[in-house]
Structure 1
Amino acid sequence: MSNSQPTLAKSLTGLHLWGLAVGLVISGEYFGWSYGWAAAGTLGFLITTILIAVMYTTFIFSFTELTTAIPHAGGPFAYALRAFGPLGGFVAGFATLVEFVFAPPAIALAIGAYLNVQFPGLDPKMAAVGAYIIFMALNIVGVTIAATFELFITVLAIAELLIFMGVVAPGFSFANFAANGWAGAPEFSVGAIGGIFAAIPFAIWFFLAIEGAAMAAEETKNPTRTVPIAYIAGILTLVFLAFGTMIFAGGVGDWRTLSNINDPLPQAMKAVVGESSGWLHMLVWIGLFGLIASFHGIIMGYSRQIFALGRAGYLPEVLAKIHPKFRTPYLAVLAGGAVGIAAIFSDSLIQIGGLPLTANIVTMSVFGAIIMYIVSMASLFKLRRAEPELARPFRAWGYPVVPAIALGLALVALAAMIYYNFLIFVIFLAMGVVAFGIWRLLSGGIAKEAAAST
């Protein structure tokens, strides 16, 4: 790109980054995870979630080293490019792109489902498209405005989850939570282990996309200081909210009625306070903030990933154009939105194995995330060996044990997901082959942006 081109605005604070880290993920507390109950039961899914929480915590305490050492809009793509060259950058960039482009349509559909509770005549898909239009526009008009809005709605979403726990607490019973707690069996058995592994993508949904805050590092003031604080505070916030939400929702009645729907929290609250309660209506309305926080934040994340890949020659260079007034990658915002809107209307293509559209989109997004986690941890180990002199303002805690735990659990998660979702994995690989061909056509297999540019 020419030096005369505008650059990304460097205006975000640590508080903005914490809001982005939590906001990117917080919709995972509102929907999506309850499909894990259908696969594993409440007790089985509790075990799955503990394992995934350990994976994410160890990952964040390791990933932050890369984020602070290489503050770049490409995030994982930039780390893999530097560690493994253009092919490594392609793998990480493609995986991250799938994660961030496929997550928003699932969240948009959940927004539509929540609105449909209040307005039964409203088509959830049209509401989802409307959400795309509104929040793409907000992301285009400026990163500071977008991040401040993200922080505001994230705080409201956290408050709403705490209110949910408080309101349903009087109706909570561990006997309800544990009843039929092992999928397909009255008690723990060898068969229950399969359910625990099958539920992995839905436990990942509790934490999916927290790493997206790394893509804002290039737009953050003093990233070497603010990123570690934001990430550590963010993962601790999310672990608390994930377990609190899941346990309280599962203990208010028959959890099986919540296991295959997009609005488990309003339905759980309905069992305690009744259908006409003001608490329920408040949850539906304010609960939208949780979905909006993630939806809005992930749009920011996918746009920076598309921007970085366009700038490096992995995607058409036009996608790296920055708006001269707003200094945001506006074409990247629109391109990712076009793919997401197409996914919303692709029921016949995305409904696989009898699962709902949302569940399959979640699984596709999680495949991208897991592969990106594996490549990122491999990049951490490679750069420690290849570039010991690289400035690392934050060094991974417990190296090499903690990063190895994150890497090992991610490999186990990937193996389990391939076994239980083989057809979706084949589609994921087919998309990768097509993307690889596009890259070869664009750049002859050599990225324009050398690893040194990171």
Structure 2
Amino acid sequence: MNSEARNQHVGKVTHHELKQTLGTWQLWGIAVGLVISGEYFGWSYGWASAGTLGFVITAVFIAAMYTTFIFSFTELTTSIPHAGGPFAYARHAFGPTGGYLAGAATLVEFVFAPPAIALAIGAYLHVQFPGLEPKHAAMGAYLVFMALNIVGVQIAAAFELCVTLLAIFELLVFMGVVSPGFQWTNFTKGGWSGADTFSMGSFHGMFAAIPFAIWFFLAIEGVAMAAEEAKNPKRSIPIAYVTGILTLVVLAIGVMVFAGAAGDWTKLSNINDPLPQAMKFIVGEHSGWMHMLVWLGLFGLVASFHGIILGYSRQIFALARAGFLPEWLAKVHPRFKTPHRAILAGGVVGIAAIYSDELIQFGGQTLTANIVTMSVFGAIVMYIISMLALFKLRRSDPNMERPFRAPLFPFFPAFALVAAVICLATMAYFNFLVAIVFAIFLALGYVYFLLTRHQRETAPTDALLEE
């Protein structure tokens, strides 16, 4: 590209800038809020295949993977504070092809997670208002929270922090209310895939339960997508990530143990509302505590739904700005300084998924289960590429400024990498049809990537990736 053309494209950056307004507390709220719906539903399905004790082992393994991953991932986020997150790290390490793979995987994770949560919101509201169609309620949730994200990231982040604090408060209330009935024997009875003793067959259930343990922590890495909007990313992001993952690990353990010890855990293992049902064991169906939990349970779903909309919009924005998606998706609202077109584009895909029963409901799984599984595939592939990028950049760019360095390198990122590979293999084995669909999606995206090389060559210069 000649100098005149390059100057013209650099000039475009003024139309693609995000406003730096987020502080440490707000980033922590995003980190926890992105994930906290996973404490409310989804994880208890792991009990159906692994039992309570088997699932504890699976959950501890996944918690270790996420903890080592986040400590390692933070090095990348603070070194390259870019709205593209994993896309930017992989592009810096492996070039455009690596950037495509990481960006596409992250896009799958963050675009497919919201419709699953929206369907849960719709189902919840349907219980309270039987005349309300769940899918219509899910679409309504999209419209409300897309609008909130467009109005401004400061308002969106403040809302996210509030609903996250309320969701945490509710989980603590749940643990406090059921604690008088806590009996460890309830938790351990039939704890190995329905048996009282461990056997080789327990391993099968523990591996099958991996996706449900991942649901405890899925999407915490989305804070990386808000890096360009952080006031002091080199300081605030490490604090937000580390305190966020510790918060979630404590809540996950507490919710799982207290729910399982409250009564017959087998009655909680195949339902979408394990916490209210566990509370029924202790306080009965008509208790005021019970009604409070049911109503406030919406906050956990809303926190994750709202936060992930913020995440997917920044990923679409970054990919479009770099020429990996149509350039018009990178436009920033002239007044609110938010990527409004990216927010709307992801919402269109999500709403389409909500109403696509026949297309997405296959392999004997429900619509929600397949959407969740697709999202998890994207996450795991992104984790693998991110850890490979960390190792690559340590060798190829040893002088890069690293405000936060992964502790116990190379052991932490190596453990996260190996654990993610195990998760990917397990996911593909137990969800082969979804794996095929995910692979087809990546292949079609790669064809588009090959056909749009000129689009990337004429994209605005990205200083964060040119350093």
* TM-score using structure 2 length: 0.94
1:392 aligns with 2:402: yes
**Equivalent in 325, 342, 348 of residue 332 of structure 1:** 342
Give how far 1:402 is off.
1.0
Q: 1:362, CA displacement in angstroms? A: 1.4
The answer (yes or no) to whether the contact 2:49–2:209 under 8 Å persists in 1 is yes
Deviations 1:34-89 (A, max 9, x none): 12112211111111000000000001111000000000000000000000000000
Q: How does 1:33-432 map to 2 (within 5 A)?
A: 33-183=43-193, 185-432=195-442
CA offsets, 1:234-289, max 9 Å, x none?
Answer: 00000000111111112222222222222221122122211111111111111111
Percent identity of paired positions between Structure 1 and Structure 2: 68
Give the Cα separation in 2 of the matches to 1:171 and 1:265. 14
CA distance in 1, matches of 2:290, 2:139: 25
Tell me the C-alpha RMSD between the 2 structures.
Answer: 1.5
Query: What is residue 11 of structure 1 aligned with on the other side?
Result: 21
Structure 1 residue 6 displacement after superposition = 5.2
In structure 2, C-alpha distance between the alignment counterparts of 1:343 and 1:280, rounded to whole Å: 32
Amino acid aligned to 1:354: G
Q: Distance in 1 between matches of 2:13 and 2:203?
A: 56
Q: How far, CA to CA, are the matches of 1:397 and 1:5 in structure 2?
A: 38
Instruction: Give the aligned length.
Output: 454
Cα distance change, pair 182–347 in 1 and its aligned pair in 2 (3 A): farther
8 Å Cα contact 2:82-2:88 kept in structure 1: yes
- Structure 2 CA distance, aligned partners of 1:6 and 1:398? 37
Q: Which whole-Å CA distance do the structure 2 matches of 1:22 and 1:343 have between them?
A: 25
Counterpart CA distance in 2 for 1:395 and 1:3 is 30
- d(CA) in 1 for partners of 2:211, 2:129: 31
* 2:72 maps to amino acid: S
Look up the equivalent residue of 2:206 and give its one-letter code.
I
Q: Quick one: which amino acid aligns to residue 352 of structure 1? A: F
Whole-Å separation in 1 of the counterparts to 2:462 and 2:420? 25
Deviation of 1:444 (Å): 5.3
User: 1:176: how far off?
Assistant: 1.7
Q: Secondary structure at the residue paired with 2:452?
A: helix
The farther-off stretch of 333-342 and 167-176 is 167-176
Q: CA–CA distance in 2 between the matches of 1:426 and 1:238? A: 31
- 1:187 Cα deviation from its structure 2 partner: 2.6
Distance 2:124 2:39 in 1: 14
Note the alpha carbon deviations across 1:107-148, whole angstroms, 9 max, x for none: 111112222232223222111111111000000000000001
Runs of 5+ unmatched residues, structure 2: 1-8
Q: What SS does the corresponding residue of 2:15 show, helix, strand or coil?
A: coil
Does residue 441 (structure 1) correspond to residue 435 (structure 2)? The answer is no
Counterparts in 2 of 1:200 and 1:338: CA distance versus 1, 3 Å = same
**Range with greater deviation from structure 2 (148-157 or 358-367):** 358-367
Q: Tell me the amino acid that sits aligned with residue 60 of structure 2.
A: I
Pairwise CA distance, 1:186: 4.4
How far residue 180 of structure 1 moved from its aligned partner, in angstroms, is: 2.2
The 3-state SS of whatever aligns with 2:22 is: coil
State the secondary structure of the residue aligned to 2:443. Answer: helix
Amino acid at match of 2:136: M
Long gaps (5+) in structure 1: none
Residues 315-355 of structure 1: CA deviation (Å, up to 9, x unaligned) = 11111110000100001101111111111122222223323
Letter of the 1:308 partner, please give it: A
Question: What CA distance in whole angstroms lies between the structure 2 residues aligned with 1:135 and 1:157?
Answer: 17
State how far apart, in whole Å, the 1-side matches of 2:167 and 2:45 are.
Answer: 21
Q: Equivalents in 2 of 1:105, 1:256: separation in Å?
A: 28
Q: Take 2:84 and 2:14, find their aligned partners in 1: how far apart are those partners?
A: 21
